[in-house]
Chain A
Amino acid sequence: RKEVEQDPGPFNVPEGATVAFNCTYSNSASQSFFWYRQDCRKEPKLLMSVYSSGNEDGRFTAQLNRASQYISLLIRDSKLSDSATYLCVVKSGGSNYKLTFGKGTLLTVNP
C-alpha cells in the first residue's frame, strides 16, 4: 500500500462548483498533514495545513480523520484560478521533516 494515496482524477468542473479531494495515508504515526498546490510546470506551494479539528481558509476547508487515516480538501465556489494539481502531503512520524507526497489530483475549472 502506498504511503499516501489520492483520488487519481482528473476532475473537470464548471465555475462555481464544489469539489472534494480525498486522501488516505498508511503510517499511523504520521504527525502533520498538508495540502499543496502545484501549477503546471511550477513548484509546489503550501495551500493549507490540516488539523484534527478541521480548518477553513476562505473557500477551502480541510479535514483530518486520524482514526480512518483520511484527509480531505473541499473547495467551494470554484474559480478558474483554482485549476491546478492538488497534492496531499504527510510528514513521516519518525522524522518530522520528510514530506511524503501523494501523486496529486489535477483539477480543471471550466468557464
Chain B
Amino acid sequence: GAGVSQSPSNKVTEKGKDVELRCDPISGHTALYWYRQSLGQGLEFLIYFQGNSAPDKSGLPSDRFSAERTGGSVSTLTIQRTQQEDSAVYLCASSFLRDYEQYFGPGTRLTVT
C-alpha cells in the first residue's frame, strides 16, 4: 500500500519568507508526527496529532512554527519568516494508533538562503 508522502521533496526559500510543508499519512492512521533532522543533529520531535485531541506542540522551536491537521488526515507544517537555522529535513510520520510503529515519509529538504 501507499506509504507516507510529503511535498515538496525539496524547497529553497529566501530568509524571511513563509513556507508550507505537506504530509499525507498512511490511510487509516490516526496518529501523525512531525520531526526535524538538522545537519549534525539527531531527529527531533516537533508536534504530534492524535485524532481530534489537542496536538502536542511541545517540540516546536518557536512561535514561527505551526501545524494543523485537517479532517484527521493531511497535515501542513508552516514556518513563518524563515531563518537560516530552519534549514533541515522535515520528516512526517504516521502510525495506526499512538503506541504503534511510526512510518516515516521521505521528508522535505528545506534550504533557507
**What 0/1 pattern do residues 86 to 105 of A give for CB contact below 8 A with B?**
01000000011111111110
Q: Does the CB pair B45–A99 fall under 8 Å?
A: yes
The B20-66 residues at the A interface (CB cut-off 8 A) are: 31, 33, 35, 40-45, 48, 50, 56, 59
Q: Which residues of A contact B41 (CB under 8 A)?
A: 103
Is A57 engaged at the interface, CB distance under 8 Å to the other chain? no
Q: Give min CB distance, B8 to chain A, whole Å.
A: 15
Is A80 engaged at the interface, CB distance under 8 Å to the other chain? no
Q: How many residues of B contact A (CB 8 A)?
A: 23
Using CB atoms, name the residue of chain A closest to B107.
A43
Using CB atoms, name the residue of chain B closest to A43.
B104
Q: How many residues of A contact B (CB 8 A)?
A: 17
**What 0/1 pattern do residues 65 to 107 of A give for CB contact below 8 A with B?**
0000000000000000000000100000001111111111000
Is B72 engaged at the interface, CB distance under 8 Å to the other chain? no
Is B99 engaged at the interface, CB distance under 8 Å to the other chain? yes
Q: Does the CB pair B101–A101 fall under 8 Å?
A: no
Q: Which residues of A contact B107 (CB under 8 A)?
A: 43
Q: Give min CB distance, B59 to chain A, whole Å.
A: 8
Q: Which residues of A contact B104 (CB under 8 A)?
A: 43-45
Q: Does the CB pair B98–A96 fall under 8 Å?
A: yes
If A99-B33, A99-B102, A101-B44 are given as contacts, then 7 extra A-B residue pairs at C-beta distance below 8 Å, sorted by A number, are A43-B107, A44-B91, A44-B104, A46-B101, A96-B99, A101-B35, A103-B41
